[in-house]
Amino acid sequence: MFRIERKSGRYPLGINPAALLVVVFLIAYPMFASDFFTFQVGAYPLILGTIALSLTMLAGYGGMVSIAQMTVAGFAAYIVAILGTNSVGVMGLGWPWWLTVIVAILGAALLSTFIGAISARTEGIYTIMITLAIAVAFFYFVRQNYQIFNGFTGFAGIEPPTLFGVYWRDPTPFYYLTLAIAAFFYFAVRYGSRSTFGLGLQAVRDNPRRVRALGINVFLHRVVAYFYAGIIAGTAGVLLVWFNGRVSPGIVGVDMAIDILVIAVVGGMRAPIGPFLGAIAFVLLENFAIDLIDRERFNTVIGLAFLLVVLFSPDGLLGLWRRMESRIRLPRANARWGVRANRDDWHPAGSPERM
Amino acid sequence: MRKPMQRRTILILGIVLLAAALLWMIFAVWPEWLVDTLGRKKTFVNTLLNGVTLGGLYFLVASGFTLVFGLMRNVNLAHGSMYLLGGYIGYEVAEATGSWFFGLAVAFLAIAVSGILLQVAVFRRMEGDELRQTLVTIGISIIAADLMLAVWTGTTYQFDTPEGLYGAVVLPVISVVKSSGAPVFIKYPMYRLMVLGVAVVVGIGLWLFLNRTRIGMMIRAGVNDREMLAASGVNVHFVFALVFAIGAGLAGFAGVVGGTALSIAPGEDIRYLLASLVVVIVGGLGSVSGAAIGALLIGLAEQFGLAYFPTYGVVLTFLIMVGVLAIRPQGIMGTR
């Protein structure tokens, strides 16, 4: 195996001062932000970003664009409502919170694995189509099913536990909870992308046929990637249901599923920071575009933003930033990104073979 | 291993037996035990006909989708939006002129033009970059859905069934024999049968167009090898634009036909996009005959699911898709 050299010598202690600044800002954020900003503009993009992170992991490193990641997160949210307590009077088995959370995350991971097992035999755009079909089918299913999923209404009154004397739905503690989880998965994905499995997955993305010839199980790599993505999305789904306090079919609808895709694409799929950038941009637009245009036409705005990014900067805000960077600091930036920028990074796996 | 020949014989035998059983179930007067297990015969026959006609409608939508994919490898996820837009345009024109058929023609043409625009403005610019094309069509469908909501609001529109096509026809199928000995025949809406007829005509027309005309030959050649077709002096871009126009136009056409059989409302775009996706996944991407088989299967599954297990109806559609993917990832008629 080869190792990717980490460039740690350029900064003192190997830490990029800009990154340090971001970390300090993120930790200090609730101290100067109002409750609304902490909760809606702070915690919410972190949750959306974590869900989109699972898609970035699949698409960026595995070449599999799955539209069903929101379905996975929504499934975890539903499990929390069904096994835990809710105020609707349907299901709500009253399990202890820790057991509910564990089952929800594992259940989501299993669903994700199942989706992976269905779609991993196909490649490229087929994956988009199949996962989209799964997402829509799941949406119609929960909307029609009243025994388990309480149909159109869904569940309400879902509360996070009160632990260590802290009510975790208060803006500040909830913000730190989401920040900790988002940071954990961010670093997990960063670390994982350099692990043997991560490198194998990227090899599968770049050339499945060659990888197969090396005796590596392509299918298994993809399905395992879906399992990890399911854990990320499932955990975010638990946070999402605590954030909303309710869950209904709308959360697993096509709009939401596409929103996650928009977030991941707008942010950029080349690095795990991308989805968080995308999520912040999305939530800022969602909250403040109302002042500029009619609230009703939000989807047009977000669709246009998405279209512009796809048309003019296929690697998202991240790519935009890097291109600016390379223009400003040409020599060094080229050494850093030149090689990567030339390679078509998140092209769907397998498409060169079909041409 | 059995020889392929024998396997095919068994398959054909199975299909023939199934068809015979189905025919018997349609035309025979049901004995007691069958009524006990499946419910009334009328429900069964109506569900069957609903399924077949819905399959016809799905075929109209999905055939355009699959045609475009087959030639250009473009997954047009705005296909559902084209269906809905076709429905709205057809409705407006039909309301204004009072002629349903005129609305149908305008919807076909308008959406065909929008398809050409999409092909020229978007797909031609990023040829070969499938994923980006797909993402662009997603963006377009988001905007289109929102703008259509702005123009036509959330109201459900219902076409007036065209002159001479309303009412019900009495089918030569006996549902029950009354105690007096008089047979009761099953009635079925005329218009829905027309939908099925249109689907069959369009299907045959497409087949003739693809297999018996010069342009169809070019299209088939393009499906097999785009570069060679271009190298032999054919204006590939013209062929692409034409196929895109036909594919999109069929979506708009289906919007009017389907909007009359059911209704047009926001959300229908997603529904028909899903139907097209599932139909072509099951039938095999790029194959028109596959789209026909897939549409029939999905239409039947949806209606039988709705009639016999309402809450789990969607699951049945989904199971068919998963089953096909597990056995034949390329779809029933698909080739790799």
pLDDT, mean of residues B252-275 = 86
Average pLDDT of the residues of chain B? 83
Q: Which two tokens stand for residue A86?
A: 């809710």
pLDDT score for A342: 42
Average pLDDT of the residues of chain A? 79
Candidate from A6-15, A99-108, A217-226, B17-26 with smallest mean pLDDT: A6-15
State the best of B131, B151, B271, B320 to mutate against chain A, taking most chain A CBs within 10 Å.
B131
CA distances from A16 to A19, A184, A270 (A): 5, 19, 19
Q: Which of residues 299-318 of A touch B (CB under 8 A)?
A: 299-300, 302-304, 306-307, 310-311, 314
Per-residue pLDDT of B181-223, as tens digits, reads 777 777 788 888 888 888 999 999 988 888 888 888 888 887 7
pLDDT score for A236: 92
**Spatial separation of the C-alpha atoms in residues A191 and A183, rounded to whole Å:** 12
Nearest by Cα to A244 from A35, A71, A43: A43
> Within 13 Å of residue B275, how many CA atoms lie on the same side as its CB?
34
Q: Between these two residues, A75 and B69, which has the higher pLDDT value?
A: A75
> What element of type H or E holds A289?
helix A274-292
pLDDT score for B3: 59
* C-alpha R_g of chain B: 21
pLDDT score for B85: 92
pLDDT category, B26, cuts 50, 70, 90? confident
Per-residue pLDDT of B224-237, as tens digits, reads 777 888 888 888 88
pLDDT category, A2, cuts 50, 70, 90? very low
A87-96, A117-126, B108-117, range with greatest mean pLDDT:
B108-117
Number of residues in chain B: 336
Alpha-carbon distance A56 to nearest alpha carbon in chain B (angstroms): 14
pLDDT, mean of residues A126-142 = 84
Per-residue pLDDT of A280-310, as tens digits, reads 888 888 777 767 666 667 778 888 888 888 8
pLDDT score for B22: 81
Ramachandran angles phi, psi of B281, nearest 5°: -65, -45
Residue with tokens 């009253």: A94
pLDDT, mean of residues A129-149 = 83
CB pairs under 8 A between A and B: 114
A345, pLDDT greater than 50: no
pLDDT category, A109, cuts 50, 70, 90? very high
* C-alpha R_g of chain A: 20
pLDDT, mean of residues A215-231 = 90
Whether A347 sits inside 8 A of B145 (CB atoms) is no
Candidate from A105-109, A171-175, A236-240 with smallest mean pLDDT: A171-175
B15, pLDDT greater than 70: yes
Domain spans of chain B, in order of start: 34-327
Going from the N-terminus, what domains does chain A have, and what CATH number goes with each?
41-354 (1.10.3470)
pLDDT score for A230: 93
B71, pLDDT greater than 80: no
Q: Is A201 on the interface with B (CB under 8 A)?
A: no
pLDDT score for B84: 92
**Spatial separation of the C-alpha atoms in residues B71 and B242, rounded to whole Å:** 11
Q: Between these two residues, A237 and B311, which has the higher pLDDT value?
A: A237
pLDDT score for A76: 92
pLDDT category, A330, cuts 50, 70, 90? low
B112, pLDDT greater than 90: yes
pLDDT, mean of residues A94-114 = 88
In chain A the beta strands, taken as DSSP E runs, fall at 162-163, 166-167
Whether B147 sits inside 8 A of A133 (CB atoms) is no
Using a 10 angstrom Cβ sphere, with 0-12 exposed, 13-18 middle and 19 or more buried, the burial of residue B221 is middle
CA A182-A186-A191 angle, to 5 degrees, is: 150
Whether A137 sits inside 8 A of B285 (CB atoms) is no
Judging contacts by C-beta atoms under 8 Å, the chain A residues touching residue B323 are none
pLDDT, mean of residues B272-286 = 84
**Spatial separation of the C-alpha atoms in residues A161 and A233, rounded to whole Å:** 20
Candidate from A316-330, A338-352, B139-153, B297-311 with smallest mean pLDDT: A338-352
Q: Between these two residues, A125 and A235, which has the higher pLDDT value?
A: A235
Whether A118 sits inside 8 A of B130 (CB atoms) is no
pLDDT score for A340: 45
Per-residue pLDDT of A268-286, as tens digits, reads 887 888 888 888 888 888 7
Nearest by Cα to B264 from B105, B116, B145: B145
pLDDT score for A341: 43
